[in-house]
Protein backbone atom coordinates (compact mmCIF):
# COMPACT_ATOMS: atom_id res chain seq x y z
CA UNK A 1 0.00 0.00 0.00
CA UNK A 2 2.83 2.38 0.77
CA UNK A 3 3.71 2.37 -2.93
CA UNK A 4 0.65 4.45 -3.69
CA UNK A 5 1.00 6.99 -0.91
CA UNK A 6 3.06 9.72 -2.50
CA UNK A 7 6.16 9.35 -0.33
CA UNK A 8 9.39 7.44 -0.63
CA UNK A 9 7.77 4.12 -1.52
CA UNK A 10 5.76 5.81 -4.31
CA UNK A 11 8.95 7.37 -5.61
CA UNK A 12 10.70 4.00 -5.42
CA UNK A 13 7.93 2.28 -7.40
CA UNK A 14 8.06 5.03 -10.01
CA UNK A 15 11.85 4.85 -10.29
CA UNK A 16 11.92 1.04 -10.32
CA UNK A 17 9.08 0.27 -12.72
CA UNK A 18 7.75 3.30 -14.57
CA UNK A 19 10.68 5.66 -15.15
CA UNK A 20 13.00 3.11 -16.83
CA UNK A 21 10.25 1.90 -19.17
CA UNK A 22 8.73 5.23 -20.08
CA UNK A 23 11.62 7.73 -19.88
CA UNK A 24 11.21 10.89 -21.97
CA UNK A 25 12.02 14.55 -21.29
CA UNK A 26 8.48 15.53 -20.20
CA UNK A 27 8.06 12.59 -17.80
CA UNK A 28 11.64 12.84 -16.56
CA UNK A 29 10.98 16.44 -15.44
CA UNK A 30 9.00 14.88 -12.52
CA UNK A 31 6.50 17.72 -12.42
CA UNK A 32 2.78 17.62 -11.74
CA UNK A 33 2.10 17.72 -15.45
CA UNK A 34 3.82 17.87 -18.81
CA UNK A 35 4.39 20.90 -21.01
CA UNK A 36 3.92 19.96 -24.66
CA UNK A 37 4.95 21.56 -27.91
CA UNK A 38 2.24 20.94 -30.45
CA UNK A 39 2.51 20.76 -34.23
CA UNK A 40 0.08 23.04 -36.07
CA UNK A 41 -3.52 21.87 -36.32
CA UNK A 42 -6.54 21.34 -34.10
CA UNK A 43 -6.07 19.68 -30.72
CA UNK A 44 -7.96 16.46 -30.01
CA UNK A 45 -8.23 14.75 -26.63
CA UNK A 46 -9.69 11.33 -25.83
CA UNK A 47 -9.69 9.09 -22.75
CA UNK A 48 -10.44 5.45 -21.90
CA UNK A 49 -10.11 3.11 -18.96
CA UNK A 50 -8.89 -0.43 -19.62
CA UNK A 51 -10.09 -3.29 -17.42
CA UNK A 52 -9.59 -6.27 -19.77
CA UNK A 53 -9.67 -9.73 -18.22
CA UNK A 54 -7.38 -11.68 -18.47
CA UNK A 55 -4.59 -9.09 -18.47
CA UNK A 56 -2.64 -11.11 -21.02
CA UNK A 57 -4.18 -12.80 -24.06
CA UNK A 58 -2.93 -14.15 -27.41
CA UNK A 59 -1.64 -11.16 -29.36
CA UNK A 60 -1.47 -8.63 -26.56
CA UNK A 61 -2.02 -7.48 -23.00
CA UNK A 62 -3.69 -4.78 -20.93
CA UNK A 63 -0.48 -2.77 -21.39
CA UNK A 64 -0.48 -2.43 -25.14
CA UNK A 65 -4.28 -2.39 -25.35
CA UNK A 66 -4.29 0.76 -23.17
CA UNK A 67 -2.01 2.48 -25.69
CA UNK A 68 -3.76 1.25 -28.82
CA UNK A 69 -7.21 2.14 -27.48
CA UNK A 70 -6.46 5.81 -27.02
CA UNK A 71 -4.31 6.12 -30.15
CA UNK A 72 -7.11 4.54 -32.18
CA UNK A 73 -9.69 6.97 -30.86
CA UNK A 74 -7.40 9.78 -32.01
CA UNK A 75 -6.98 8.07 -35.40
CA UNK A 76 -10.75 7.83 -35.79
CA UNK A 77 -10.94 11.60 -35.27
CA UNK A 78 -8.37 12.10 -38.06
CA UNK A 79 -5.72 13.18 -35.56
CA UNK A 80 -2.03 12.30 -35.52
CA UNK A 81 -0.97 11.27 -32.01
CA UNK A 82 1.28 13.66 -30.04
CA UNK A 83 1.36 12.32 -26.49
CA UNK A 84 -0.27 9.94 -24.02
CA UNK A 85 -0.88 10.03 -20.29
CA UNK A 86 -1.35 6.86 -18.23
CA UNK A 87 -2.89 6.42 -14.77
CA UNK A 88 -2.63 3.10 -12.94
CA UNK A 89 -4.91 1.73 -10.20
CA UNK A 90 -2.93 -1.19 -8.78
CA UNK A 91 -4.31 -3.85 -6.45
CA UNK A 92 -2.07 -4.49 -3.48
CA UNK A 93 -0.34 -7.81 -4.04
CA UNK A 94 -0.06 -7.59 -7.82
CA UNK A 95 3.40 -9.09 -8.40
CA UNK A 96 5.92 -6.38 -9.29
CA UNK A 97 7.22 -8.70 -12.03
CA UNK A 98 3.80 -8.73 -13.69
CA UNK A 99 3.40 -4.97 -13.28
CA UNK A 100 6.80 -4.49 -14.87
CA UNK A 101 5.82 -6.69 -17.84
CA UNK A 102 2.55 -4.82 -18.39
CA UNK A 103 4.23 -1.41 -18.10
CA UNK A 104 6.84 -2.76 -20.52
CA UNK A 105 4.11 -3.70 -22.99
CA UNK A 106 2.59 -0.24 -22.62
CA UNK A 107 5.97 1.40 -23.13
CA UNK A 108 6.77 -0.78 -26.16
CA UNK A 109 3.42 -0.03 -27.78
CA UNK A 110 3.87 3.71 -27.21
CA UNK A 111 7.44 3.59 -28.54
CA UNK A 112 6.37 1.61 -31.61
CA UNK A 113 3.81 4.31 -32.34
CA UNK A 114 6.40 7.03 -31.69
CA UNK A 115 4.28 8.62 -28.96
CA UNK A 116 5.73 9.56 -25.53
CA UNK A 117 3.87 8.93 -22.25
CA UNK A 118 4.30 12.42 -20.82
CA UNK A 119 2.40 12.25 -17.53
CA UNK A 120 1.07 9.57 -15.23
CA UNK A 121 -0.17 8.56 -11.83
CA UNK A 122 -0.20 5.47 -9.64
CA UNK A 123 -2.68 4.59 -6.92
CA UNK A 124 -2.52 1.40 -4.86
CA UNK A 125 -5.74 0.00 -3.39
CA UNK A 126 -6.18 -2.83 -0.89
CA UNK A 127 -6.22 -6.44 -1.93
CA UNK A 128 -9.77 -7.13 -3.09
CA UNK A 129 -10.49 -3.50 -4.10
CA UNK A 130 -9.47 -3.90 -7.74
CA UNK A 131 -8.88 -6.80 -10.09
CA UNK A 132 -5.09 -6.56 -10.36
CA UNK A 133 -4.64 -3.49 -12.51
CA UNK A 134 -6.74 -0.89 -14.26
CA UNK A 135 -5.10 1.57 -16.63
CA UNK A 136 -6.61 4.81 -17.90
CA UNK A 137 -4.92 6.48 -20.85
CA UNK A 138 -5.59 9.86 -22.39
CA UNK A 139 -4.51 10.57 -25.94
CA UNK A 140 -3.52 14.02 -27.14
CA UNK A 141 -3.41 14.48 -30.89
CA UNK A 142 -3.54 17.09 -33.60
CA UNK A 143 -5.61 17.15 -36.79
CA UNK A 144 -3.43 18.63 -39.54
CA UNK A 145 -5.11 21.52 -41.34
CA UNK A 146 -5.19 19.74 -44.71
CA UNK A 147 -7.36 16.85 -43.44
CA UNK A 148 -11.11 16.76 -44.16
CA UNK A 149 -13.54 17.33 -41.29
CA UNK A 150 -14.75 13.84 -40.41
CA UNK A 151 -18.29 13.67 -39.06
CA UNK A 152 -21.57 11.86 -39.43
CA UNK A 153 -23.05 14.97 -41.01
CA UNK A 154 -20.63 14.70 -43.95
CA UNK A 155 -21.93 11.26 -44.97
CA UNK A 156 -23.94 11.22 -48.24
CA UNK A 157 -26.29 8.86 -50.02
CA UNK A 158 -24.37 6.31 -52.07
CA UNK A 159 -21.12 6.54 -50.05
CA UNK A 160 -19.20 3.28 -49.61
CA UNK A 161 -18.51 1.58 -46.26
CA UNK A 162 -15.10 -0.06 -45.80
CA UNK A 163 -13.52 -2.12 -43.03
CA UNK A 164 -9.74 -2.45 -42.73
CA UNK A 165 -9.65 -6.21 -42.03
CA UNK A 166 -11.24 -9.17 -40.28
CA UNK A 167 -13.72 -8.31 -37.53
CA UNK A 168 -14.14 -9.65 -34.00
CA UNK A 169 -10.60 -11.00 -33.54
CA UNK A 170 -9.95 -9.09 -30.31
CA UNK A 171 -13.19 -9.97 -28.53
CA UNK A 172 -13.10 -13.65 -29.41
CA UNK A 173 -9.37 -13.97 -28.58
CA UNK A 174 -9.97 -12.47 -25.11
CA UNK A 175 -13.06 -14.59 -24.56
CA UNK A 176 -11.17 -17.77 -25.43
CA UNK A 177 -8.21 -16.70 -23.25
CA UNK A 178 -10.51 -16.70 -20.22
CA UNK A 179 -10.47 -20.45 -20.54
CA UNK A 180 -13.93 -21.03 -19.11
CA UNK A 181 -15.47 -21.99 -22.43
CA UNK A 182 -13.41 -25.13 -23.06
CA UNK A 183 -12.89 -23.84 -26.60
CA UNK A 184 -9.53 -23.41 -28.26
CA UNK A 185 -8.69 -21.70 -31.52
CA UNK A 186 -5.65 -20.45 -33.33
CA UNK A 187 -6.56 -16.80 -32.99
CA UNK A 188 -4.77 -13.64 -31.86
CA UNK A 189 -6.21 -10.32 -30.81
CA UNK A 190 -5.79 -7.70 -33.52
CA UNK A 191 -4.64 -5.10 -30.96
CA UNK A 192 -2.60 -2.52 -32.90
CA UNK A 193 -2.33 1.22 -33.36
CA UNK A 194 -4.18 2.25 -36.52
CA UNK A 195 -3.03 5.86 -36.85
CA UNK A 196 -0.87 4.86 -39.85
CA UNK A 197 -3.88 3.25 -41.48
CA UNK A 198 -5.90 6.42 -40.87
CA UNK A 199 -3.13 8.64 -42.23
CA UNK A 200 -2.62 6.65 -45.45
CA UNK A 201 -6.34 6.93 -46.15
CA UNK A 202 -6.80 10.57 -45.16
CA UNK A 203 -3.64 11.85 -46.80
CA UNK A 204 -3.86 10.02 -50.16
CA UNK A 205 -7.58 9.59 -50.89
CA UNK A 206 -10.17 12.36 -51.27
CA UNK A 207 -13.78 11.97 -50.21
CA UNK A 208 -13.29 10.37 -46.78
CA UNK A 209 -16.38 11.30 -44.73
CA UNK A 210 -16.18 9.39 -41.45
CA UNK A 211 -13.85 7.01 -39.60
CA UNK A 212 -14.35 4.93 -36.47
CA UNK A 213 -12.42 2.26 -34.56
CA UNK A 214 -15.07 -0.35 -33.81
CA UNK A 215 -14.17 -1.45 -30.26
CA UNK A 216 -16.84 -2.31 -27.67
CA UNK A 217 -20.04 -3.22 -29.46
CA UNK A 218 -18.15 -3.90 -32.70
CA UNK A 219 -18.84 -2.74 -36.25
CA UNK A 220 -22.61 -3.01 -35.74
CA UNK A 221 -22.64 -0.51 -32.86
CA UNK A 222 -20.35 1.94 -34.66
CA UNK A 223 -22.53 1.89 -37.78
CA UNK A 224 -25.79 2.12 -35.81
CA UNK A 225 -24.48 5.24 -34.12
CA UNK A 226 -23.52 6.66 -37.51
CA UNK A 227 -26.91 5.82 -39.05
CA UNK A 228 -28.71 7.53 -36.21
CA UNK A 229 -26.50 10.64 -36.34
CA UNK A 230 -26.64 11.08 -40.14
CA UNK A 231 -30.31 10.11 -40.51
CA UNK A 232 -29.57 7.69 -43.36
CA UNK A 233 -29.36 3.89 -43.52
CA UNK A 234 -26.37 1.60 -43.92
CA UNK A 235 -26.70 -1.52 -46.04
CA UNK A 236 -24.05 -4.20 -45.49
CA UNK A 237 -23.22 -7.07 -47.86
CA UNK A 238 -22.75 -9.69 -45.18
CA UNK A 239 -20.77 -11.99 -47.44
CA UNK A 240 -18.23 -9.21 -48.09
CA UNK A 241 -17.35 -8.76 -44.40
CA UNK A 242 -13.96 -10.34 -43.64
CA UNK A 243 -14.16 -12.76 -40.71
CA UNK A 244 -11.33 -15.02 -39.53
CA UNK A 245 -12.46 -18.70 -39.67
CA UNK A 246 -11.73 -19.10 -35.94
CA UNK A 247 -13.94 -16.09 -35.16
CA UNK A 248 -16.68 -17.42 -37.42
CA UNK A 249 -16.48 -20.86 -35.79
CA UNK A 250 -16.39 -19.65 -32.19
CA UNK A 251 -19.17 -17.14 -32.84
CA UNK A 252 -21.40 -19.80 -34.30
CA UNK A 253 -20.78 -22.15 -31.37
CA UNK A 254 -21.42 -19.38 -28.84
CA UNK A 255 -24.38 -17.80 -30.61
CA UNK A 256 -22.52 -14.53 -31.13
CA UNK A 257 -22.47 -12.29 -34.19
CA UNK A 258 -18.97 -11.06 -35.18
CA UNK A 259 -20.52 -7.72 -36.15
CA UNK A 260 -21.01 -7.03 -32.43
CA UNK A 261 -17.60 -8.28 -31.26
CA UNK A 262 -14.88 -5.81 -30.24
CA UNK A 263 -11.87 -5.00 -32.40
CA UNK A 264 -8.77 -3.07 -31.39
CA UNK A 265 -6.76 -2.78 -34.59
CA UNK A 266 -9.38 -1.98 -37.19
CA UNK A 267 -11.03 1.03 -38.75
CA UNK A 268 -14.39 1.43 -40.45
CA UNK A 269 -14.57 4.21 -43.04
CA UNK A 270 -17.26 5.88 -45.09
CA UNK A 271 -15.88 7.20 -48.37
CA UNK A 272 -17.50 8.88 -51.39
CA UNK A 273 -18.44 6.12 -53.88
CA UNK A 274 -16.10 7.40 -56.60
CA UNK A 275 -13.09 7.03 -54.28
CA UNK A 276 -14.05 3.67 -52.78
CA UNK A 277 -11.62 1.64 -54.83
CA UNK A 278 -8.80 4.15 -54.24
CA UNK A 279 -9.52 3.89 -50.51
CA UNK A 280 -9.44 0.10 -50.68
CA UNK A 281 -6.12 0.21 -52.54
CA UNK A 282 -4.66 2.64 -49.98
CA UNK A 283 -5.60 0.42 -47.08
CA UNK A 284 -4.45 -2.77 -48.81
CA UNK A 285 -1.05 -1.13 -49.34
CA UNK A 286 -0.66 -0.85 -45.54
CA UNK A 287 0.51 -3.85 -43.45
CA UNK A 288 -2.54 -3.57 -41.16
CA UNK A 289 -5.00 -3.30 -44.06
CA UNK A 290 -4.19 -6.31 -46.23
CA UNK A 291 -7.63 -7.87 -45.63
CA UNK A 292 -9.61 -4.65 -45.98
CA UNK A 293 -12.87 -4.75 -47.93
CA UNK A 294 -15.78 -2.67 -49.17
CA UNK A 295 -18.65 -4.03 -47.08
CA UNK A 296 -21.61 -1.82 -47.81
CA UNK A 297 -23.11 1.50 -48.77
CA UNK A 298 -25.19 4.38 -47.48
CA UNK A 299 -28.84 4.24 -48.57
CA UNK A 300 -31.87 6.36 -47.72
CA UNK A 301 -34.21 3.92 -45.98
CA UNK A 302 -34.91 2.74 -43.33
CA UNK A 303 -33.43 5.95 -41.95
CA UNK A 304 -31.28 5.56 -38.84
CA UNK A 305 -30.87 1.80 -39.25
CA UNK A 306 -28.29 -0.76 -40.35
CA UNK A 307 -29.47 -3.53 -42.68
CA UNK A 308 -27.60 -6.72 -43.57
CA UNK A 309 -28.04 -8.30 -46.99
CA UNK A 310 -27.39 -12.02 -46.60
CA UNK A 311 -25.91 -14.41 -49.12
CA UNK A 312 -29.36 -15.78 -49.89
CA UNK A 313 -30.83 -12.47 -50.96
CA UNK A 314 -32.59 -11.84 -47.66
CA UNK A 315 -32.14 -8.84 -45.40
CA UNK A 316 -32.09 -8.42 -41.62
CA UNK A 317 -31.98 -5.49 -39.26
CA UNK A 318 -28.60 -5.19 -37.51
CA UNK A 319 -29.81 -3.44 -34.38
CA UNK A 320 -27.97 -1.83 -31.48
CA UNK A 321 -26.73 -4.44 -29.02
CA UNK A 322 -29.03 -4.66 -26.01
CA UNK A 323 -27.38 -7.01 -23.51
CA UNK A 324 -23.66 -7.63 -23.20
CA UNK A 325 -22.27 -11.00 -24.20
CA UNK A 326 -18.68 -9.89 -23.55
CA UNK A 327 -17.87 -7.75 -20.53
CA UNK A 328 -14.35 -6.46 -19.76
CA UNK A 329 -13.08 -6.94 -23.29
CA UNK A 330 -11.00 -3.74 -23.18
User: Which residues in 18-47 contact its own copies (CB under 8 A)?
Assistant: 29-38, 42-47
Dmax over Cα atoms in the chain, in whole Å? 67
The length of the chain is: 330
The reply to whether 51 sits near its own copies by the rule CB under 8 A is yes
Instruction: State the minimum distance, in angstroms, from the CB of residue 311 to its own copies.
Output: 26
CB atoms within 10 A of CB 283: 25
Q: Label residue 30 exposed, middle or buried (CB < 10 Å: 0-12, 13-18, 19+).
A: exposed
| 16 near its own copies, judged by CB under 8 A | no
Sign of CA dihedral 58, 59, 63, 69: negative
Number of residues in contact with its own copies, rule: CB under 8 A? 80
Contacting residue, 111, 138, 254, 299, with its own copies by CB under 8 A: 138
Contact 233, 305 (CB under 8 A): yes
Nearer to its own copies, 87 or 248 (CB): 87
Site string for its own copies, 268-297 (x = CB under 8 A): ------------------------------
Interaction between residue 130 and its own copies (CB under 8 A) = yes
DSSP notation for 250-289: HHHHHT--GGGS--SS--EEEE-GGGHHHHHHHHHTSGGG
DSSP-based three-state secondary structure for 25 = helix
Q: Which residue of 17, 27, 62, 74 would you call a contact of its own copies, by CB under 8 A?
A: 74
How far apart (Å, rounded) are the C-alpha atoms in residues 214 and 258? 11
Q: Please give the Cα distance from 78 to 62 (Å, whole number).
A: 25
98 binds its own copies (CB under 8 A): no
| CB-count burial class (<10 Å; 0-12, 13-18, 19+) for 246 | buried
Binder among 140, 293, 295, 298 for its own copies (CB under 8 A):
140
Kindly tell me which residue out of 13, 55, 136, 297 binds its own copies, with binding defined by CB under 8 A. Answer: 136
Q: How far is the CB of 316 from its own copies (least distance, A)?
A: 17
If one asks whether residue 317 binds its own copies (CB under 8 A), the answer comes out as no
Q: How far is the CB of 161 from its own copies (least distance, A)?
A: 17
Smallest distance, its own copies to C-beta of residue 104, A? 20
State which of positions 176-215 bind its own copies (CB under 8 A). 212-213, 215
Give the residue, chosen from 139, 265, 296, 308, that forms a contact with its own copies under the rule CB under 8 A: 139
What binding mask, one character per residue, do residues 213-252 give for its own copies by CB under 8 A, x or -?
Answer: x-xxx---x---x---x-----------------------
Using alpha carbons, select from 255, 266, 267, 251 the residue that is nearest to residue 172: 251
27, 116 in Cβ contact below 8 A? Answer: yes
Single residue of 96, 112, 129, 281 touching its own copies by CB under 8 A = 129
Contact 262, 247 (CB under 8 A): no
Q: Which is nearer to its own copies, 16 or 281 (CB)?
A: 16
Amino acid sequence: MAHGAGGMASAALFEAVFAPALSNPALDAREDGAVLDLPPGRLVVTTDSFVVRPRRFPGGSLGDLAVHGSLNDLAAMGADPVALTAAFVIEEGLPIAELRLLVGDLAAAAAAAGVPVVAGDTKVVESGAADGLYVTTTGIGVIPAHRPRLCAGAVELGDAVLVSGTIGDHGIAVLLARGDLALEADLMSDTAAVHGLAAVLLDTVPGVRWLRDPTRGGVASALNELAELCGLAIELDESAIPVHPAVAGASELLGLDPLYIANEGKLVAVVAAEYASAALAAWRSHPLGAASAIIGRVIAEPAGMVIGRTGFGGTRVIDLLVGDPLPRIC
